[in-house]
Amino acid sequence: MSHPGYAFFNKNIIPIEMAKVDIRTNALQYGTGIFEGIRSYWDNDTGKNYIFRMRDHFERFIRNAKIIMIEVKYSVDQLCDITLDLMKKEKYSEDAYIRPFAYNSGLGIGPKLIGNDQDLFIYSIPLGLYLETDRAISVCISSWDRISDNSIPPRAKISGSYVNAALQKTEAILNGYDEALVLSADGRHVCEGSAMNVFMVRNNKLVTPAVTDDILEGITRNTVIELAKKLNIMEVVERPIDRTELYTADELFFCGTGAQISPIGSVDKRTIGDGGMGPVTKKLQDNYFKLVTNKIEEYSAWCTEV
């Protein structure tokens, strides 16, 4: 069967080609939607599909929807049940990506967050690699600043805010890089990639920007911190990172639901380490791939079998 076959739309699971919105939709005009990105992993060894940290994604979704005054009219349990039903119908035998989206569905003109109908849909798409995971990628510092908590809060996955990410990613690609690293508008600290968090190995510590540094509080970021601590891989420090600390880091990697764990080989043409995947990144990545296919028993609660 071709994917996706279905969407949850207007309170029902329907064929995806019937899930259409009106051209006047407020969220289409003004970007007033909030979304999630969840991965499901096909495990070739067992022939099973697992959705990774689904509850955590929906908890973040409901919590952050408050920021743009969207009321998600479903509980975390209900959203998990709907997603499972949808994924059972899709019958994937490859990795996939699930996109829940809550939005202002009203048809009125005007960018405001009140007085609008609101709705929610969920669909999925097949998704292999979003960034390379075997090869270290090349990265530039974007000339575009990251949005900030007091402009468009990066903490929420607000659809309109991804114009910022699109400018960064597009500039990077047009200039011959794989990805961008983005600095904050004030203070010039490192925030994250266009759609992924960043970690640095420096002086035997695993360093990542704090949640107050204009980042999305990534679930993969949290997974990496958890793995580093549990497996005694390295001490983790959450603190501001300078641009030139990146140039002089021992290792750098991106992480995210789409990105997974992607090693960074250079920043602005400065080689990081030996330019390949560093040992700490490798250890974390190996364990991450075990984790998401339910091969580490301690974390099996993070994997929901479809």
| Cβ nearer to ligand PMP, comparing 116 with 184 | 184
- For the bound state, the minimum distance from the C-beta of residue 84 to ligand PMP, rounded and expressed in Å, comes to 20
Cβ proximity to ligand PMP, 166 vs 301, nearer residue? 166
- What CA–CA distance (Å, rounded) separates 286 from 29? 42
Using CA atoms, how far residue 299 sits from 42, 201, 260, in Å, is: 17, 25, 17
Could you identify the residue written with the tokens 């973040």? 60
Q: Shortest approach of ligand PMP to residue 11 CB, angstroms? A: 26
CB nearer to ligand PMP: give 13 or 36.
36
Report in angstroms how near the CB of residue 177 gets to ligand PMP at its nearest.
17
Least spacing, CB of residue 124 vs ligand PMP, in Å? 15
Closest contact distance (angstroms) between CB of 80 and ligand PMP is: 16
Report the residue number, 197 or 287, with the smaller CB distance to ligand PMP.
197
Instruction: Please report, as residue ranges, which positions from 246 to 285 form the binding site for ligand PMP (by CB under 6 A).
Output: 256-257
**Interacting residues with ligand PMP between 189 and 218 (CB under 6 A):** 192, 195-197, 216, 218
The amino acid sitting at 75 is: S
Q: Say if residues 139 and 275 touch (Cβ distance below 8 Å).
A: no
Q: Please give, one letter per residue, the 3-state secondary structure of the chain.
A: CCCCCEEEECCEEEEHHHCCCCCCCHHHHHCCEEECCEEEEEECCCCEEEEECHHHHHHHHHHHHHHHCCCCCCCHHHHHHHHHHHHHHHCCCCCEEEEEEEEECCCCCCCCCCCCCEEEEEEEEECCCCCCCCCCEEEEECCCCECCCCCCCCCCCEHHHHHHHHHHHHHHHHCCCCEEEEEECCCCEEEEECCCEEEEEECCEEEECCCCCCCCCCHHHHHHHHHHHHCCCCEEEECCCEHHHHHCCCEEEEEECCCEEEEEEEECCEECCCCCCCHHHHHHHHHHHHHHCCCCHHHHHHEEEC
Please give the positions annotated as active site: 157
- Tell which positions 104-143 bind ligand PMP, by CB under 6 A: none
Residue 146 CA neighbour count, 13 Å, CB half = 28
Residue 26 or residue 164: which is nearer to ligand PMP going by CB?
164
Token digits for 122? 């969920």
Residue 69 or 166: the one with the smaller Cβ distance to ligand PMP is 166
Binding mask of the shown chain, residues 16 to 45, with x at each position contacting ligand PMP by CB under 6 A: ---------------------x--------
The strand pairing partners of 33, in sequence order, are: 103
* Residues 150-179, interacting with ligand PMP (CB under 6 A): 165
Residue 220 found at the interface with ligand PMP (CB under 6 A): yes
Interface with ligand PMP (CB under 6 A), residue total 13
CB of 258 to ligand PMP, least distance (A): 6
Question: In the complex, which residues of this chain contact ligand PMP (CB under 6 A)?
Answer: 37, 165, 192, 195-197, 216, 218-221, 256-257
